[in-house]
């Protein structure tokens, strides 16, 4: 028994007033976008016969989502971050900017201002004795493959419980977050611990909606990177560790084939030492 009200003069007039079309102040782009947004929400109410109870449930859901700080967590779960990435890829392709390490989403757990060092950093504070040591090393190059010295590699990742410092108050400040400047060969090395995958808070708003969609809220073990150098395009990316149950089933849709890496276990202590195992904390 759907009633049709969307295209009545009364609703059209309401939408125009809501978006401030009859005011000659304000921001034109915001007005147009809010007009379209409210139009589409009203249309959805009409098309799905959304009841007032369902409507208010949705409004309170958004309130709760904000109150528990999960707006930027639901966004990747609903594919929004990945969608923007797909758009940026298409833009790059159009501009002829192909090749190199592909981008993927930033996620909601970056913290600016991590300790900065040159060439090498130890990222973990040493407090987790059960953790397995991880050596991360790489080279930053320009689009022609020429090494880039003094690029900043900003790395962040979770601990063995899948938790990130700052958001997890039990970790020390900037634990598992570092900025490393590449050396004269464009190289950087970090000593850290192997992270576990992230899972959405089980009692949170994001997981509540995912449950209704029949979806899990897990990410595979991963390591985030920003790569930057003045005069060059900023790269936001991650690597995903191969062999994780969620490597190809990420709730945030961030995995890309080229970003899946096998970790090699180094058993020989002499070989491990080459990677700076006994260097001091930086
Ligand atoms: C994460 O650690 C993350 O990287 C993303 C994209 C979403 C939630 C948690
Ligand atoms: Fe993450």
213 lies in the same domain as 141: yes
Whether residue 75 has its Cβ less than 6 Å from ligand 1: no
Q: Is residue 218 part of a domain?
A: yes
Can you give the pLDDT at residue 277?
67
Q: Does residue 219's CB lie within 6 angstroms of at least one atom of ligand 1?
A: yes
Q: With pLDDT > 70 as the criterion, what percentage of the chain qualifies?
A: 97
- Rounded distance from Cα 245 to ligand 1 centre (Å): 16
Cα 94–chain centre separation: 24
Separation of CA 106 and ligand 1 centre (Å)? 8
Answer whether residue 44 is part of any domain: yes
Decide if 56 is inside a domain: no
User: Which ligand ends up closest to the CA of 204?
Assistant: 1
Mutate to test the pocket of ligand 1, among 73, 81, 103, 107 (most ligand atoms within 8 A of CB): 107
For the chain, give the mean pLDDT: 95
210, 216 Cβ separation under 8 angstroms: yes
Asked whether residue 62 is assigned to any structural domain, the reply reads no
Residue 221 has pLDDT above 60, yes or no: yes
Q: Which residues surround ligand 2, an ion (CB under 5 A)?
A: 107
Considering the domain architecture, whether residues 110 and 9 belong to the same structural domain is answered as: no
User: What is the pLDDT averaged over residues 137-142?
Assistant: 96
Position 278 scores a pLDDT of 63
Nearest to 110 by CA among 191, 228, 205, 217: 228
Query: Is there a single domain that holds both residue 3 and residue 117?
Result: no
169 is a domain residue: yes
- The number of folded domains in the chain is 2
Question: Which H, E and C letters describe 98-151, residue by residue?
Answer: CCCCCCCCCCCCCCCCCCEEECEEECCCCCCCCCCEEEEEEECECCCCCECCCC
Give a yes or no: residue 9 inside a domain. Answer: yes
Over the stretch 9-39, which tens digit does the pLDDT of each residue have? 999 999 999 999 999 999 999 999 999 999 9
pLDDT at res. 281 = 59
Ligand 1 in reach of 76 Cβ (< 6 A): yes
**pLDDT tens readout for residues 249-265:** 999 999 999 999 998 88
Which tens digits make up the pLDDT trace of 98-113?
A: 889 999 999 999 999 9
- Asked casually if ipTM beats, i.e. exceeds, 0.95, the reply is yes
Tell me the residue range of the domain where 267 lies.
77-274
Q: Is residue 173 part of a domain?
A: yes
From 93-97, 187-191, 232-236, 277-281, the region with the lowest mean pLDDT? 277-281
Q: Is the pLDDT of residue 68 over 90?
A: yes
Span from the CA of 127 to the centroid of ligand 1 (angstroms):
23
Domain presence at residue 85 = yes
What lies within 8 Å, CB to CB, of 281 at 6+ separation is: 122, 125, 126
252 lines ligand 1 (CB under 6 A): yes
User: Are 178 and 242 within one domain?
Assistant: yes
């Amino acid at each position: 028994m759907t009633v049709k009200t969307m295209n009545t003069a009364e609703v059209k007039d309401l939408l125009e007033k809501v978006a401030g079309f009859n005011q000659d102040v304000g921001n034109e782009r915001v007005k147009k976008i809010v007009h379209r947004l409210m139009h589409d929400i009203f249309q959805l109410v009409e098309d799905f016969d959304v009841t007032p109870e369902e409507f208010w449930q949705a409004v309170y859901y958004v309130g709760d989502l904000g109150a528990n700080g999960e707006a930027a967590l639901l966004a990747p779960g609903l594919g929004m971050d990945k969608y923007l990435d797909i758009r940026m890829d298409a833009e790059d392709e159009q501009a002829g900017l192909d090749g190199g390490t592909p981008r993927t989403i930033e996620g909601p757990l970056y913290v600016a201002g991590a300790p900065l060092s040159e060439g090498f950093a130890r990222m973990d504070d040493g407090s987790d004795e059960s953790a397995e040591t991880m050596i991360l090393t790489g080279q930053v190059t320009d689009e022609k493959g020429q090494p880039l010295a003094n690029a900043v590699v900003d790395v962040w990742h979770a601990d063995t419980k899948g938790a990130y410092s700052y958001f997890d108050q039990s970790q020390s400040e900037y634990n598992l977050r570092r900025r490393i400047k590449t050396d004269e060969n464009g190289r950087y090395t970090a000593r850290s611990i192997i992270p576990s995958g992230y899972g959405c808070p089980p009692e949170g708003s994001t997981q509540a909606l995912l449950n209704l969609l029949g979806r899990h809220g897990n990410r595979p073990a991963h390591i985030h990177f920003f790569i930057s150098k003045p005069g060059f395009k900023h790269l936001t990316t991650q690597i995903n560790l191969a062999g994780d149950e969620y490597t190809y089933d990420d709730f945030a849709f961030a995995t890309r084939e080229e970003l899946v890496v096998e970790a090699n276990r180094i058993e020989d202590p002499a070989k491990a030492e080459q990677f700076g195992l006994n260097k001091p904390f930086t």
